[in-house]
Amino acid sequence: MSVLVWGENVHEHRNPEVAAVYPDGMHEAIAAGLREAGAGEVQTATLQDPEHGLTVERLAATEVLVWWGHLAHDDVDDAVVDRVQARVLEGMGLVVLHSAHFSKPFRRLLGTSCSLRWREDGRKERLWVVDPGHPIAAGLGDGFEVPQEEMYGEPFGIPAPDELVFISWFVGGEVFRSGATWRRGAGRIFYFRPGHETFPTYHQAEVRRVIANGVEWARPAGPPFQEPGNVESPPAVGDLVA
């Protein structure tokens, strides 16, 4: 499997607190977790790369794209968003992390606001498995805790997920649909909530396990689906009525 972890890579260079937690960048920590889990060939790309590191060729060679962004959603080129959307529709998996709920590719593919309630309070989050037979929940038991996290609360402005895997509980009284999937075209999308930049969330074993499970789940089932486009069809089965 060929996996590409895309990181916005901005906080890391502006905020020493983030740089301390993720000295090689958040994308490298996420990629390290995937390599550790044996998730195939794992590469990284960032906003600052030419074409954000998401050329036509590279996307064509990518089976699952993992996306983290926050401050610079608007700096992502619309032409690149077009490409990502097209690749998902033909089968590439997409794993969307935390604040990337507001990224252009996620909003484009879902068609809704993707907005939510939030609070930077750095307290405990508990994620409950609500779909114990789902492959993304494999090995997580009833769920797990992240010791310090930003709070995200409902309502989350998404289409009803095809599958809901995790729901989070927050100390301050909120709940959130923390792990959810959608299929779009031939591609699979998994959104996973945790991952505020100032906390070592992507170093935590359970979080890495979920992301690895998600990447495995999102891999294409077959060769790229060549959508017929909107094309006129000959009466190829016209003989059926003969």
Interface positions, 39-58, toward its own copies (CB under 8 A): none
Q: Which of these ranges, 20-28, 36-44, 114-122, 193-201, lies near its own copies under the rule CB under 8 A?
A: 114-122
Q: Which of these ranges, 8-16, 59-67, 149-157, 200-208, lies near its own copies under the rule CB under 8 A?
A: 149-157
Does 72 bind its own copies (CB under 8 A)? Our answer is no
| 151-190: contacts with its own copies (CB under 8 A) | 151, 153-157, 159-160, 162-164, 167-175, 177, 182-187
Q: Which of these ranges, 28-36, 53-61, 194-202, 215-223, lies near its own copies under the rule CB under 8 A?
A: 215-223
**Residue 222, Cβ density class (10 Å: 0-12 exposed, 13-18 middle, ≥19 buried):** exposed
Q: Name beta bridge partners: 94.
A: 65, 189
With vertex at residue 29, the alpha carbon angle to CA 175 and CA 83, rounded to the nearest 5 degrees, is: 80
C-beta atoms surrounding 234 within 10 Å: 6
CB of 41 to its own copies, least distance (A): 22
9 vs 68: CA distance, rounded Å: 9
Does 32 bind its own copies (CB under 8 A)? Our answer is no
Nearer to its own copies, 16 or 238 (CB): 238
Contact 181, 188 (CB under 8 A): yes
CB of 6 to its own copies, least distance (A): 19
Nearer to its own copies, 25 or 194 (CB): 194
Does 134 bind its own copies (CB under 8 A)? Our answer is yes
Phi and psi, residue 24, nearest 5°:
-100, 10
Does 93 bind its own copies (CB under 8 A)? Our answer is no
Closest to 179 (Cα-Cα) out of 85, 80, 97: 97
Which one-letter amino acid corresponds to residue 231?
Answer: V
Nearer to its own copies, 22 or 217 (CB): 217
Phi and psi, residue 93, nearest 5°:
-75, 155
170 vs 125: CA distance, rounded Å: 5
Nearer to its own copies, 29 or 114 (CB): 114
Q: Is the peptide bond before 159 cis (omega within 30 degrees of 0)?
A: no
Q: Which of these ranges, 8-16, 40-48, 50-58, 122-130, lies near its own copies under the rule CB under 8 A?
A: 122-130
